[in-house]
Structure 1
Amino acid sequence: MPLRSDSENFALIKVIGVGGGGSNAVNRMIRAEMMGVEFISVNTDAQALLQSDAPHKIRIGDKMTRGLGAGADPQVGQRAAEEDSEKIYEALKDADMIF
């Protein structure tokens, strides 16, 4: 049986920041140069996503918010995530660990 390459010997860890606070946390981790982690930002607010340093960005809830924020309403955020659950699933499906 062939050995896996070095990068395949490590767990695929993904950190997903949701909303403004989550995206801010992801930005701090990226700026702290955390290695070995894939960063993802998720938001209903298109402008906030432009400010994210994450290499992977997912805008959710376009039908509801039209790219504007959720107004800090957790129910709007939940419905937006449900609306675009497939996008979120695709971004996370191959991860070994998700934070």
Structure 2
Amino acid sequence: MQEQKFHYATVTEAISKLKEQGYTHEFSLEGDHLKAGAETFPVSEFEIVDLYRYEGPSDPADEAIVYALASTGGTKGTLVTGYGISTDEATIETLKNLHYKYQQSQQ
């Protein structure tokens, strides 16, 4: 049975609700690694469990994606990225790979 997917009204609400579900790490993406505080994790160990896309009504800077990520070892957290931000090529490729794995799991 597939869980019912909710779409939260704001980025803040999504992060708060995901924390309640155990997604406690706040990740940043650096190349092909996720960082949470002093901890570093290889992205290859993670999959996108869910994602929420937000579009600002008038300001493109308000556009964001909230990712719920989980590792094979049980580490769970969130990653927030903007659209169209200038990022390095390694980060772009890492996000593409995460999206590809997510799309394959949805089929």
**TM-score (normalised: structure 1):** 0.30
Query: Which structure carries more helix by proportion?
Result: 1
Query: Which structure carries more strand by proportion?
Result: 2
Q: Rg: which structure is higher?
A: 1
